[in-house]
A and B are shown apart, each in its own frame.
Chain A
Amino acid sequence: MWEIIQNNWTLLLVGQYPNGPLGGLVATLLLAMAGLALAFPVAITIAVARISPYRPIRLVAAGIVHVVRGMPFLMVLFWSYFALPVLIGRPLSGFWTLVGALVLYESAYLAEVIRAGIQALPKGQEEAARSLGFGYFRTLFLVILPQALYNSLPALIGQFVSLIKETSLGYVISVNEFTYAAGQLNSQLLVQPVEVFSILAITYFIVCFTLTQSARWLEQRIARSRQGGPGGRAAQTLPNPLATEPMP
């Protein structure tokens, strides 16, 4: 196993880069980061729309969330693969196809995480801001969201782990990422599948486990800081049905 890593670590880490497209583990992490960064504003919009005072807006947002939750990620990926180039009128690289699918899919799940964070805030926060004369948007952006996002930080890290795991499906449409690199390596070596796929699995495990453990640590820290806050409010755990989604 050690020998395979020694001979192929560049392929697994960065793919053919700099002589070809970026791939490997670095591409996987970049894909997940780009997906999260772009999905974030969309998710906040959906989350706020989900608890909007206007019923039609609530219904539309709930519809989007439910439809996306009903679709396998692979289906979203194929839509991104076939439909996005038609919609924007030019061909897309595999990298951006996968980012597009991640944004479409994760926005719905992230929105539920953020909504849970907003709804876990005491109602008094909004009432206090409104009675101080803040408008809807100022209340939202200056009072509600900063607290809600901070409190849902652990869940957001969990969602980042989901994104990392989802990028592995780029393998199916031949996007240069970590699983695809391992697949290439496996067909090159042909007779050492146990070693190759063990390296793949162990590396994913190290990356994702480190992140989930830091999320747990952060969760305890935040719970403690909420407990010790003014008024000695008891720590609330966020009611978050979607935070621990197992993803591909």
Chain B
Amino acid sequence: MGYEFDFSAVLTDQYIGWLLSGIRITLMLSAGAWLLSFAVGTALAVLRATNFKPAVWLVATFVEIHQNIPLLVQVLFWYFAMPEILPEAWRDWLNQNNSEFILAMIAIAMCHAAYISEALRSGLRAVPVTQYEAGRSFGFSYLQTMSYIVVPQALRLSIPPLVNHSLLLFKNTSIAMAIGVHELTYQTRQIDSDTFRTFEIFLVATILYILMSFVIMAAGNLAERRFGMGAR
């Protein structure tokens, strides 16, 4: 291959600025979607654990829908179709407030909330039922038993799958480029079409993604050692 690598062409101040802003958006998108998906995912898991038939059915439907449709299609649906369904006031608000970013964040969060609720559900099932009974016989209400006794243990049991899904959520934020969110993959393409230094810039971006993924994997290992049920 007669290709000569020239990293100086892509690592100028201007392009480093583009890359940094891409990283910033990627991290913001990941953090926002992560928080939202954990909140929704936990709520779904608890709702399903009530064993109240309509609630169980509703959660199961939510999970199946989000697990069996490609994330890109969900993102496109939120971006193209949802604004048509939403009330006009919401639409105007979205258009004034960076609608691509918000809609991509919601789409990614909802999809991963389904997976997180499933991971938590298997964690909840692994908590011995006597824990629940003990909580109730101490006079805790259902919600108190769940939030002080059962869910904390279930969370610790589910650390490995939760870390796995956090990593996937981070990687999947790259899909937001399809609707024009200026995250890392989007900026990489921009620099590529500006400089035609395809291999250099994609190599830089790939290494950045891998480094950030390794940080997440390492944080996951640390969490598993510190809080996992095997710890102590």
Chain A residues in contact with chain B, CB under 8 A? Answer: 66-67, 69-75, 78-79, 82-83, 86, 161, 164-166, 168-169, 171-172, 179, 183, 186, 193-194, 196-198, 200-201, 204-205, 208-209, 212, 241-242, 244-248
For residues 5 through 62 of chain B, which have their beta carbon under 8 Å from a beta carbon of chain A? none
Residues A72 and B68 in contact in the complex (CB < 8 Å), given A179-B73, A241-B164, A246-B112: no
Q: List 27 A-B contacts (CB under 8 A).
A: A66-B214, A70-B209, A70-B217, A72-B174, A72-B209, A73-B171, A73-B174, A74-B177, A74-B185, A75-B206, A75-B209, A78-B188, A161-B68, A168-B73, A172-B72, A172-B177, A172-B178, A193-B81, A197-B73, A201-B77, A204-B68, A241-B160, A245-B164, A246-B67, A246-B71, A246-B111, A246-B168
Report yes or no: B177 in contact with A70, Cβ–Cβ below 8 A.
no
Report yes or no: B213 in contact with A71, Cβ–Cβ below 8 A.
yes
Report yes or no: A248 in contact with B70, Cβ–Cβ below 8 A.
yes
CA distance A248 to B171 in the complex (A): 10
B69 at the interface (CB under 8 A from A): yes
- Give the secondary structure class of B's interface: helix
Report yes or no: B168 in contact with A165, Cβ–Cβ below 8 A.
no
Chain B residues in contact with chain A, CB under 8 A? Answer: 1, 3, 64-65, 67-74, 76-77, 80-81, 84-85, 111-112, 114-115, 118, 160-161, 164-165, 167-168, 171-175, 177-178, 185, 188-189, 198-199, 202, 205-206, 209-210, 213-214, 217
Chain A contacts of B65 at CB under 8 A?
A: 205
Chain A contacts of B160 at CB under 8 A?
A: 241
Further contacts, 9 of them, CB under 8 A, given A197-B81, A205-B69, A247-B71: A71-B206, A169-B70, A200-B73, A241-B160, A242-B164, A246-B114, A248-B70, A248-B172, A248-B175
Please name the residue on chain A nearest to B67 by beta carbon: A246
Chain A contacts of B178 at CB under 8 A?
A: 171-172
CA distance A216 to B171 in the complex (A): 27
Report yes or no: A212 in contact with B177, Cβ–Cβ below 8 A.
no
Residues A82 and B164 in contact in the complex (CB < 8 Å), given A201-B74, A205-B69: no
Report yes or no: A179 in contact with B80, Cβ–Cβ below 8 A.
no
Chain A contacts of B198 at CB under 8 A?
A: 82
CA distance A204 to B70 in the complex (A): 7
Report yes or no: A194 in contact with B84, Cβ–Cβ below 8 A.
yes
Return B218 CB to nearest CB of chain A, in Å.
11
CA distance A69 to B70 in the complex (A): 19
Chain B contacts of A194 at CB under 8 A?
A: 81, 84-85
Report yes or no: A209 in contact with B64, Cβ–Cβ below 8 A.
yes
Q: Which single member of B173, B189, B209 contacts A71 (CB below 8 Å)?
A: B209
Chain B contacts of A73 at CB under 8 A?
A: 171, 174
Chain B contacts of A193 at CB under 8 A?
A: 80-81, 84
Chain A contacts of B67 at CB under 8 A?
A: 208, 212, 246
CA distance A73 to B64 in the complex (A): 22
Report yes or no: B71 in contact with A244, Cβ–Cβ below 8 A.
no
CA distance A204 to B74 in the complex (A): 11
Which A-B residue pairs are the 10 nearest by beta carbons? A70-B213, A168-B70, A208-B68, A70-B210, A165-B70, A72-B174, A193-B80, A72-B171, A194-B81, A74-B174
CA distance A137 to B199 in the complex (A): 39
Please name the residue on chain B nearest to A79 by beta carbon: B202
Report yes or no: B199 in contact with A82, Cβ–Cβ below 8 A.
yes
CA distance A241 to B70 in the complex (A): 20
Please name the residue on chain B nearest to A246 by beta carbon: B115
Please name the residue on chain A nearest to B74 by beta carbon: A201
Chain A contacts of B114 at CB under 8 A?
A: 246
Please name the residue on chain B nearest to A210 by beta carbon: B68
CA distance A70 to B76 in the complex (A): 24
- Candidate in B68, B165, B174 with the most chain A CB atoms within 10 angstroms: B68
Return B12 CB to nearest CB of chain A, in Å.
21
Q: Which single member of A67, A75, A183 contacts B185 (CB below 8 Å)?
A: A75
Chain B contacts of A172 at CB under 8 A?
A: 72, 177-178
Residues A166 and B70 in contact in the complex (CB < 8 Å), given A197-B76, A244-B118: yes
Return B22 CB to nearest CB of chain A, in Å.
13
Residues A246 and B213 in contact in the complex (CB < 8 Å), given A74-B185, A82-B198, A209-B68: no
Please name the residue on chain A nearest to B185 by beta carbon: A74
